[in-house]
Structure 1
C-alpha cells in the first residue's frame, strides 16, 4: 500500500513539473514574441539616417544574443529599406564593448523544444530567412563585428558585403560541443574559407581572435575598435555610397589601424596538417588520420573532438561536404531540416544542459561513440520534413 501511495504522490508532482515547464516556456515565448512591450522595443534599435539604415543590437547584458522578437523587427525593416529607392546602405552593430552578438537565444529554444512549443520551429525558420535576406541584399551591408561573434551573430554578419573585425572580435562556431551543428549558413561559408579550414573550425569549435578573423576570411577588413565610431560616421557621411566607395573608406581606416600588431595567422603553422588530416569523407577517416599522424598537435585535436557530440560531428561533416556545391539557399533549407531533427533527438538538449544550464561541462552523448551513429541516423537528419514544415525561401 505504501508503494502505491508513493506512486500516486509522484503523478501529481510530475504533472505539476510538466505544467510549470510549459508555463515557463509560455512566459519565455511572450518575452521573445511580444511586439509592443517597451522593454522589448529597445532590444534592437532601427534608425534611418539620411539614406542609410542603422541596426543596433541592444542587449548588452545578454551579449546582444538574438531572439525571435529582434528577428521579427529587423526583417521587415530591412525589406522596407531595400524597397526604398532612396536608401543606399545598411550598417549593423552591437551595443557594449563585449559582444557584437554572442549567438541566438538557444536556451529559450531548447526549453520550447522540450514541450513542443512552436517557438522552436519559428526561431530557426525566421532566423534563416533573415540570413538569406542578408546574403541576397540589394544594398551594401556593413557589419561591425566588435567583440564576441558566434552562432546567430555570425548569421547576422558573415553573408553581408562587408564584415569589419577589431582586436576584440572573437569568432567561433562551437555547436558540435552542444549537440548542434554550425548553422545560419555555416554549410555555405565554412567550406569556402579555403582548404579544410572551415571543416576544422566547425568540428573543433576553434576560436579566432582579432586580425585572425580577417586572415581566415570570416571578416573582410580589420579596424581597431577605438576607430569604429569614426569609421561609422565616415560611412554615414558618404553621399551616394557604392560598394567601391565603402570599401575605400574601410580600407583607409584599416591602414590606420597600426596600434594592433599584424602577426602571422595563428593557424599558419598548422594549415598543411589541417588540409591533410581533416580531409576525410567520414569522421572515422579524420580520427584515423589524426591517430596515425601522432604529433602533439594532432593528439590535441583528437582529444578535443572526443569531447564533442559524435552525432553532431557526423552531421556537421556531411553538411559542409554537401555545402561545397550548394547555394546559400540550398544550404539554409538543408540546415532547417537539421535544426528540426536536433529538436527531435537528444544531444542538443543534453549539450545545452551541460554547457549553458548546469554548466558541468560533462554532457552524456547518445550515442557516445562515432561507431554508434549509424549512416541511417545521419540520413534521417538530412531527410525532408513534411511539406508544410519545410523552409521556403
Structure 2
C-alpha cells in the first residue's frame, strides 16, 4: 500500500491507521484509495469481524484534506480536486453502509475530511482531547463529506449553529450533536485494539466498548439550546444574524461575531444545503448535493481567497466577494445547486 496508511490485523480486527502525523493525518488521494481497497477486501474476508480507524500521533485523527493543493488547483483551473472529492465521498458512503462494525477513534483534532472517515462509522469514540469541527465557511467553502447530512440531523438547530459559526465541539457536545457515541478516557485507549480483537458483530463491539467507556460529562451546548433553536430557526442568514443580535447572552454575541467573519456566500449556500439535507434524509443524495456545491466553490472567488488568507499568506483577512450578506443574490446561490 503506502506509508501514508498502515494496515494491520489483530485477531479478528482490521486496523487502518492514518499515518501523516506531522500533517495531523490530512487526507491524500492515495490514502482515500488505500482505505477503500482495504475496506472492500475485508468486506469479503470472513476472518475479519470488525474494523478500527485511527490516526497516528497525538495531535488528532485527521485535520481534513490538503487545502494547499486545492488552492493551487483553483488558481490554475485544475479539476483534480473534483476527482478527489468524488472518491472521498464514495469512501464516506462505504464506511456508512459497511456491513461489518466500523469503529472510529476520534481523538484529538477531527476536521473536514476527518469527520467524513469517522462520523459515518457505526461506533464513534471521543476522548477528553477530542475537538470536532466543520470549519468550511471560514475559508469560503461549504460543509462536505456528508457534513450537511450529519449537521442537519443534530438536535434542534445545533447543527446549523455549528456550521454557520465554524464552531468546534468538545467530546460531550459531540455526543449531544450525534457526531459521536461513546466517551473513552485517553488512558484507556492503549488496550483498545485488544478489547476489539475478538469482535464479530455490532453487539460484540458495543459490549466491548461499554467496558471501557465513561460518561462524557455535561455538554455546554445543552444550556444554549433555547437561544440557539430560536435564533437559527430562520430560513435566511440575515434573519439569523438579526435574531442573534437580539439575544443578550454573551455566547450569542460571540456566535454573531464569528458569523460576520465568514464568507457571506458560503453562509448562504451552507444554510440552503442544511435545509435541503434535512429534507433529503439520506447520506447518498446529500453527498451528491455537496459535490455539486464543492465544484462550484472551486470555480468561485471566496474559496481560494479563504485558503490564501488562512494558510498561504496567513493574514487572516480574506476579502470576500460579495462582501455583505445582502449582496449575495438568489441566482448566485442557485448555481451551487445546479
TM-score normalised by length of structure 1:
0.83
Residue 287 of structure 2, aligned match among 305, 312, 332: 332
The offset of 1:295, in angstroms, is 4.0
Specify the alignment match of 1:248 in structure 2: 207
What does residue 166 of structure 2 align with?
Answer: 205
Deviations 1:48-94 (A, max 9, x none): 33432110001000011111111111112211111223321111100
Matched, 1:95 2:56: yes
For 2:269, the equivalent position in structure 1 comes to 315
Paired residue secondary structure (1:143): strand
Confirm or deny: 8 A CA contact 1:166 1:211 kept in the other structure. no
**2:125 maps to 1:170:** no
SS at 1:92 equivalent: strand
In the alignment, the residues of structure 2 paired with residue 233 and residue 125 of structure 1 have an alpha-carbon distance, to the nearest angstrom, of 34
Q: Distance in 1 between matches of 2:252 and 2:170?
A: 21
Aligned partners of 1:270, 1:286: CA distance in 2, in Å? 15
Distance across 1 between alignment mates of 2:99 and 2:166: 32
How many residue pairs match? The answer is 337
Q: How does 1:287-326 map to 2 (within 5 A)?
A: 287-326=241-280
Give 1:81's aligned residue.
Answer: 42
Over residues 73-124 of structure 1, what are the superposed CA-to-partner deviations in whole Å (9 max), with x where a residue is unaligned?
1112211111223321111100111111011111112212221223222111
Does residue 43 of the first structure (1) align with residue 4 of the second (2)? yes
8 A contact 1:154–1:184 mirrored in 2: yes
Determine which of 94, 99, 103 is the counterpart of 1:138: 99
* Cα offset, 1:213, TM superposition: 2.2
2:322 to 367, 377, 382: 367
Give the Cα separation in 1 of the matches to 2:76 and 2:82.
12
Q: Deviations over 1:176-199 (max 9, x none)?
A: 000001110011111111100000
Counterpart in the other structure of 1:391: none
The answer on 1:148 being equivalent to 2:109 is yes
Q: Do the aligned residues in 2 keep the contact of 1:109 with 1:123 (CA within 8 Å)?
A: no
Matching residue of 2:230: 276
Deviation at 1:207, TM superposition (A): 1.1
For the 8 Å contact 2:13–2:198, the answer to whether it is kept is no
Greater alpha carbon shift after TM alignment, 360-369 vs 118-127: 118-127
User: Paired residue for 2:309?
Assistant: 354
Aligned counterparts of 1:47 and 1:145: Cα–Cα separation in 2: 19
Report which of the two structures shows the higher radius of gyration computed on alpha carbons: 1
Runs of 5+ unmatched residues, structure 2? none
Q: CA deviation at 1:298?
A: 2.6
Task: Write the distance in 1 (CA, Å) between the matches of 2:18 and 2:251.
Answer: 38
Given the two structures, how large is their TM-score scaled by the length of structure 2? 0.96
Is 2:64–2:113's contact at 8 Å kept on the other side of the alignment? yes
TM-superposed deviation, 1:253: 0.4
Provide the rounded CA distance (Å) in 2 between the counterparts of 1:202 and 1:335. Answer: 14
Distance (whole Å) between structure 2 residues aligned to residue 148 and residue 59 of structure 1: 13
Counterpart contact for 1:100–1:147, Cα < 8 Å = yes
CA distance in 2, matches of 1:323, 1:144: 26
2-side partners of 1:201 and 1:152: how far apart? 16
Listed one character per residue, the Cα deviations across residues 330-376 of structure 1 (whole Å, up to 9, x for unaligned) are 00000000010001101000000001111111100000011111011
Q: Give the C-alpha shift of residue 140 in structure 1.
A: 0.6
Q: Which has the higher contact order (CA 8 A, sep 6+)?
A: 2
Root-mean-square deviation (CA, aligned residues, Å) is 1.4
What is the CA–CA distance in structure 1 between the aligned matches of 2:65 and 2:158, rounded to whole Å? 24
- Unmatched segments (≥5 aa) in structure 1: 1-34, 36-40, 384-393
